[in-house]
Amino acid sequence: MADKQTLYKKQAGEYAASLIEDNMVVGLGTGSTVRFFIEALAQRINIEGLDIIGVTTSSKTSSLAKALGIKLSSVDEVPYIDLTIDGADEVDSAFNGIKGGGAALLFEKIVALNAHKNVWIIDESKYHDVIGQFPLPVEVVPYGSHQLFKRFDEADLQPLFRRTETGERLTTDAGNYIIDLTLERINHPKSLAYFLEQTVGVVEHGLFLNIVDEVIIGGEQLKIITKHPDKLFDN
């Protein structure tokens, strides 16, 4: 039998599939929770004959969606994305999130920023008062990445190159490396995001601030928390 976390991911993923309407262009995130969403969406497409175009955020998601018969376009071929459903590694009550546990943060952020609405699906263990327990992924250009690693180390950001199971440095779909920062508690996410964005060699970071509109949280009871459209958060 599946563990509770997996059941909660499934609950959130399947609920998200019910949000999709005919003729939508849908951003398809990456990860194990999104897998449940994509499987449920493919089922709805088959049964109800929905006309959906998916825009994927990783090669893994592209393979899954293709195998399930979902029509795909690239982010550059659609005028906009109606709704993106993605997972997250950690979320706080101010709608700050950490993403990139599946190494897809760059494409995930591009797809999210081209969507009219962003919904995240998580299990309840990922919802915290303050983000930072999950190591923050930073995607970096391979050239000079050792120097960047040293800078992060000197700044006490506890960097680690992400590696594959066979021990090589993991390469993202865009051909970059990931350095994970072990921070434990990110008290000022906006300042940290600014610092990373100013650092040459950093392609993107996994802080997704003020991007998500709604979070669906699987648990004993499914919870949906929605951001007020006019609310701006100051970190």
Task: Write the interaction track for ligand 5RP spanning residues 155-174; mark x where CB under 6 A is met and - where it is not.
Answer: --------------------
Instruction: Consult the annotation and say whether 13 binds a ligand.
Output: no
Instruction: Consult the annotation and say whether 49 binds a ligand.
Output: no
Burial class (CB in 10 A: 0-12, 13-18, 19+), 186: buried
Nearer to ligand 5RP, 147 or 182 (CB): 182
108 binds ligand 5RP (CB under 6 A): yes
Q: From the list 45, 75, 103, 136, which residue makes contact with ligand 5RP (rule: CB under 6 A)? A: 103
218 binds ligand 5RP (CB under 6 A): no
Is-contact 105 139, C-beta < 8 A? yes
CA distance 74 to 58: 11
Helices (H), 97-216: 105-113, 145-154, 189-197
CA distance 187 to 191: 9
Q: Is residue 42 within a helix (H) or strand (E), and if so which, with residue range? A: helix 32-48
Q: From the list 16, 38, 75, 88, which residue makes contact with ligand 5RP (rule: CB under 6 A)? A: 88
Annotated binding-site residue numbers: 30-33, 86-89, 99-102, 126
Interacting residues with ligand 5RP (CB under 6 A) = 29-33, 86-89, 99-105, 108
